[in-house]
Structure formats: structure tokens, C-alpha cells
Amino acid sequence: MPLSIPKEEFMEPGHTACHGCGATLSMRYVLKGMGPNTVVSVPAACWAVIPGAIPNRTLDVPMVYTPFAATGAAITGLREAFNILGKEDYNVVGFAGDGGTADIGLQSLSGAMERGHNVFYIMYDNEAYMNTGVQRSGSTPYGAETTTTPVGKDRNFKRQRKKVVADLMMAQGVPYVATATIAYPEDLIRKITNAKNVKGPKFIQILSPCPVGWYYPSEKSVEISRLAVQSGVFPLFECIHGQLKVTRQSKPIRLSEYLSAQGRFSHMEEEDVRNVQEYIDERMNFLLELEQKSGK
């Protein structure tokens, strides 16, 4: 039986990520899809720390580190400079967390996408500022407890819905937009491959569960990632030049199965769960409507 995932590794053992880190698997799969002619730029993020302190590195491709807000602009400069040197075939990849993408980096991301550079922007979404100790981000979902949305005498869990950057990117008309997650590596790598065939900016949001910040046992990251898709919390889709395809659920599960597997939702009451279900239904309807419209 042929391998469904490229054998070639661009990530060396010995990185310093936490046990069960979803973001680490995300990088590994992304690079398998990209291949060797790749340069990765990371802002302040878990991935600024995972490769280890100077002089260690864990990737077999160059990594350009930048301040928090700069990913979109850094990949702009890298792309243009490689083009000037005749290296149009290099993959220039921004790899940023959800805080670096949905919050502080949104402006430079949006600028880079609008200008149409031939770049990849991978948002590894662990739904909070994990590297700094689990603080709320714009991409944190409704209901989640974080260190800045604590449940004390007042139940100050995050009351606002998740800002879904992939939806913003579709609204902006980015030529390639997709979501993926580590439980489905073939799907993730296929999306990288598809993205490589699209000229212009590419944006992929990868749900990357975090045992430390979502409060679940570290061996369950892949399982949680799968439950997020099956429960409809994180729908998988691909949108190429405005043509949206939403992945249908073959084995849907109840939302409570996803929520109850994680400590960050353990305080939730029935009404809170209903709010989440309402959101899931609304968003799925939105995506399906968009899919139907884009098919015409």
C-alpha cells in the first residue's frame, strides 16, 4: 500500500514543545506538503520557542523570526527578495499562532493578502495566547476559560464568539483559503499541495489543540482535533478562487462529547452549551449557503 503521507521529514527530533503539542504536528505536516525549497517566518509564538535556543534548530529549512505583528510584512519582503534573485520557485511560508494572526498580526496579514504576493500564511490556531500562558485571543471560542477570562465568583469565561480568520480571508477574496487540523493529515497535506498550484496568496487555518491550555491529557490531541471537526465546532473547507467546498461529516457527534473532553469548558451550563450549538448551526448554514452560491 502506498504511503498517504510523504516520508520526507523536515523536522528533526529534539524540539522543546510540550507533550502532545498540536502545533508541532501542524508544522511537521505543513513542511511535508511544502517540500525542501521552503523558508518559514515565525513571529512571537510557541513556534518561536519550539526550535530551541541559539544555536539549536529543529527544522531543516531556514527560519526567519520577527516581532509579533510582522509576519505578513516579513513574508512580503522575503518573497520579493527571492523573486529579485530569480528564486520564484521557493515557498515563502508565514507560520503564526492565532494571537499573531487574528489580533496583533491581522493588519499585516490583510495587507500581504491584498497585495497578492505568492506566499503561504499558515495560522496554527490553538485558540489562545499559549506561549505566554493561555490568555484570551480573538480566536478563543465562546465559553472557553483562559487565564484572562477566568471563572471565579463571576463566571467571566469568554463571552464573545471566535473571530474566524479563514472567513475574513474568504471575504477579502484571497485566492486560496482552507481550514485543516492534525487529526486529518492527508487532508492537511493535500490542501498544501492544492495551495501550491494556486498563484498568489494562500491562507490555511489549522486547528492545533493544546493540552496545556485546553486542559486535557496530552495523549488526546489528535482525538480532540477529530472531535472538533465531528462536532461541527471546526468545519473543514477549501475555497479556491471563490469556489467553496465544505467537507460533510460522515460521523457527526454530539457537541457535549467535544466540550466535556476539555477542562476549559468544564464550567459550562446548559444554556452556555446551547449558545455554542446555536453558533455551530449558524456558521454551518453560512458556509453551506456560501458553498451553494459559489457553485453557481
Partner 1 sequence: MQAVQKYNAIMTGNEAVAFGAKLARVGFISAYPITPQTTIVEKLAEMVANREISAHYVEVESEHSAMAAVFASELVGVRSYTATSSHGLLYMHEMLHWTAGQRLPVVMSVVNRALGPPWNIWTEQTDSMNQKETGWLQVYCESNQEALDSILMGYKIAESPDVLLPLMSMEDAFILSHTSEPVILPDQDQVDSFLPPLNLSFRVDLKNPMGYGSYSTPDGPYMELRKDMMDSLRNSRKVISKVTKEFGETFGRNYSGLIEKFMMEDAEYAIIASGTLASTGKYVVSKLRQEGKKVGLIRVRFFRPFPDLEIAEAVTDLKGVGVIDRSTSYGSAGPTALEVRSALYGKSEIPVAAFIAGLGGRDVKVEDFEKMFQYVEQGKTGNFYINVKEAC
Site for partner 1, residues 96 to 125, rule: CB under 8 A = 107-108, 110-111, 114-115
Residue 168 near partner 1 by CB under 8 A = no
Q: What is the DSSP string of 191-221?
A: HHHHHHTS-S-EEEEEE---HHHHTS-GGGH
Cα 216–chain centre separation: 19
Contact 244, 291 (CB under 8 A): yes
Size of the site for partner 1 (CB under 8 A): 44
Residue 194 near partner 1 by CB under 8 A = no
Residue 203 near partner 1 by CB under 8 A = no
Q: Minimum CB separation from partner 1 for residue 99, in Å?
A: 16
Minimum CB distance to partner 1 smaller for 107 or for 160 = 107
Q: Minimum CB separation from partner 1 for residue 67, in Å?
A: 5
What CA–CA distance (Å, rounded) separates 112 from 226?
Answer: 31
Residue 236 near partner 1 by CB under 8 A = no
Q: Minimum CB separation from partner 1 for residue 62, in Å?
A: 5
Closest CA relative to residue 96, chosen from 139, 41, 20, 156: 41
Rg (CA), the chain: 18
Q: Minimum CB separation from partner 1 for residue 133, in Å?
A: 17
Residue 33 near partner 1 by CB under 8 A = no
Q: Minimum CB separation from partner 1 for residue 296, in Å?
A: 33
Q: Minimum CB separation from partner 1 for residue 109, in Å?
A: 10
Residue 3 near partner 1 by CB under 8 A = no
Cα 44–chain centre separation: 15
Q: What is the DSSP string of 154-188?
A: SB-S--SPP--HHHHHHHTT-SEEEEEETT-HHHH
Q: Which residues, other chains included, contact 89 with Cβ-Cβ below 8 Å and sequence gap of 6+? A: 37
Site for partner 1, residues 72 to 91, rule: CB under 8 A = 72-78, 80-85, 90
Cβ-based neighbour number of residue 169 at 10 Å: 26
Binding mask 51-70 for partner 1 (x = CB under 8 A): xxxx-xx-xxxxxxxxx-xx
Closest CA relative to residue 203, chosen from 88, 125, 282: 125
Residues that bind partner 1 (CB under 8 A): 36-39, 41, 48-49, 51-54, 56-57, 59-67, 69-70, 72-78, 80-85, 90, 107-108, 110-111, 114-115
